[in-house]
Amino acid sequence: MTHRSHLLGSLALLASLLAGPALADDPPSEVARLNEVQGSVTFAPAGSSDWAYAPINRPMTAGDQLWVDQGGRAELHTGATALRLGDQTSLSFLALDDNNTQLKVTQGALGLRVRNLYSGQHVEIDTPNLAFVINSPGDYRLDVDPNGNTTRITVRQGNGTALGSNGNSFNLHDGDQVSWTGADLQELAATVNPPYDQFDEWANGRDHREDASVSARYVPRDVTGYESLDDNGTWQTVADYGPVWVPHTTIVGWAPYRFGHWVWVAPWGWTWVDDAPWGFAPFHYGRWAYLGSRWCWVPGRPEPRPVYAPALVAFAGGINASVHITIGGGPGVAWLPLGPGEAYRPAYATSPTYITNINRTINNVTVNKTVYVNQAAPNAINGMAANNFVHGRPVQAAVATFNPQQFTHAQFNNAPGVAPVAQSVVGNAKPAPAVHNIAFNRAVVSTHTPPQPFAARDDLAGRYAAHAAVPGAGPALQTTHATAPAPQINVVGQNHPAGNEPVHATRPLPAVSGQPQRPPQQEPGQKPQAAAPANNVPHPPTNPREQPAVQSRQTEPPQVHERSNPVQDQPRPQQQAQPRPQEEARPQAQRQTQEVPHPAPTGQSSWSHDNRPTQPAKPQQGHNDDHHPAPTHRPQPKEEPQHKDQ
């Protein structure tokens, strides 16, 4: 390894990588994490038609597609919300950002446990028959038959609005189960308190474990991946840092960011995917510290809605870098985990506010560093050949470990200085047969046209390609390839009069009583805004990347329906009843003169994704939906006096 005498080349490279539109949109502060896989689960990254077997801890974002094959199941988390998929289920992320979660399900079963719903936050599931907007925290399930002809919605707890392509809407509350055929909410079957099937029991068991999470006492539930920490480590208190989490690992020489691989995910760029079953939260939030003789994760000050980072590390090496690293006869890349008090500076274009928010959980922020807290810790500095890095090969199989003295005068940066290639998008995920399921190409009903995925306009990849192509690695990725077709969307009310424009109205969604709010936060005890009447379709928040709405035509006004006798809360099995997460009065539907009559409640429709039990319906219970932004007085774990290594 040699050090160059001047930094002109690296400064030019860094300036080009950081340069971007002056008013560029900040990236989302949330992603979805794939944390549970049973059976065959495959995915296609945004803009790609290449499928691979989905690895755990893979971050999912807008444009990604997921397929659960026959006999399989999958679970994802995005913040405090759990998404659970049954077998033969197709899921596409149409949008996933701070204010807007828009999912596309064209076949199969999707369960959602929504714990927090912030003011202005929009959660929507689009199917071939309807768009379903979630109005409060709760427990929801949608089933779409294999032909995409029927959608059934079950609300165990909470309330939401189903919307047809013609603008008709229907409100559902606790215990409701309604099925629709067609796209205009005209044909339906309804029942109340349906029995739990095998999929429900599985989801219920997962919920109970999260309800009892110890880690939720120390970090907010909005920290994606918090639930995986409970079984894989212990919480302790350290004088300098407060609560820290110590992983249980028997791997000799284990260190953060050493067992996993790198992938390219737009718009963040180089992203770490860890191998450990718990390996998400500690690598995308907080900092690592080597205390005594072990690595500890320091989550930092608890903050609601923490900001996701692709990897909290500092880099050295790469192409045209100030520090030239040679590994295996070619250029190499090295990195080390950031420690407490060390600021993360993204390589992607952001606003100053974003920089502040992504570092707000740490104290005593130090921006300009020449010596890092973890620089002398065992196995803290890891590296690999740049060719292996960009192809997403496992780090532990090709790792190069350095003596800390080699980096005494090295300049670390926020970017590795290597351009991605096509393989970087999927990394080392095993290729899978293409999913030629027509379900993914089905048109869905939606309240709005989703924004274009970041992968289709990956400016960061283009800037890397101009300056940091790796010799012998293949063509640099100019922008994430966009061979997958754009989703077909039938916008609700698109052919209805402007006077009925519930989709594109500018009213905010009602605030959720008892739930945390995004700044500006409402004062404690302040009464939330009244919910919009049922004939006003819940709308997504304003999104600067959203495409303009299509001008609508004059036609019949949409009809609105709502259950006349909402089902009373009942206790859920093996738990004591908890208060509902939202105590405000439900909005009453503004019924039209000609209302579609409710049919008499019927049994469940004949199709199903799991064998339903024949026993009578089990009692239900509202979830304990309180969020956990770390209590004022945390339970104190076992205290062990520790001292920071110098």
Sign of CA dihedral 392, 89, 148, 113: negative
CA proximity to 81, closest of 627, 517, 453, 542: 627
Contacts of 436 (CB under 8 A, 6+ apart): none
| In a domain? residue 362 | yes
N-to-C CA span, the chain: 25
| In a domain? residue 243 | yes
DSSP-derived 3-state class of residue 425: helix
Whether residue 267 is preceded by a cis peptide bond, meaning omega within 30 degrees of 0, is yes
CA proximity to 390, closest of 508, 296, 471, 450: 471
Higher pLDDT, 617 or 175: 175
| In a domain? residue 242 | yes
Instruction: Give 91-118 pLDDT, tens digit per residue.
Output: 999 999 999 999 999 999 999 999 999 9
- Report how many domains make up the chain: 1
Q: What is the DSSP letter of 450?
A: P
Higher pLDDT, 523 or 421: 421
Other C-beta atoms closer than 10 Å to the C-beta of 239 total 11
CB hemisphere CA count around 303 (13 angstroms): 20
Query: Of 29-43, 293-307, 429-443, which has the strongest mean pLDDT?
Result: 29-43
Q: What's residue 408's pLDDT?
A: 77
Query: Of 63-72, 324-333, 512-521, which has the strongest mean pLDDT?
Result: 63-72
| In a domain? residue 247 | yes
| In a domain? residue 341 | yes
- What's the CA gap between 625 and 617, in Å, rounded? 23
CA proximity to 391, closest of 509, 291, 264: 264
Q: What is the pTM of this model?
A: 0.76
| In a domain? residue 150 | no
- What's the CA gap between 405 and 396, in Å, rounded? 22
| In a domain? residue 315 | yes
Query: Of 3-7, 33-37, 299-303, 481-485, which has the strongest mean pLDDT?
Result: 33-37
Q: What is the mean pLDDT of residues 631-638?
A: 43
Q: Label residue 633 exposed, middle or buried (CB < 10 Å: 0-12, 13-18, 19+).
A: exposed
Examine the pLDDT at 538 and tell me if it is beyond 60.
Answer: no
| In a domain? residue 461 | no
| Domain region containing 351 | 2-22+226-425
Higher pLDDT, 46 or 321: 46
Q: What's residue 364's pLDDT?
A: 60
User: Binning pLDDT at 50, 70 and 90, where does residue 369 land?
Assistant: low
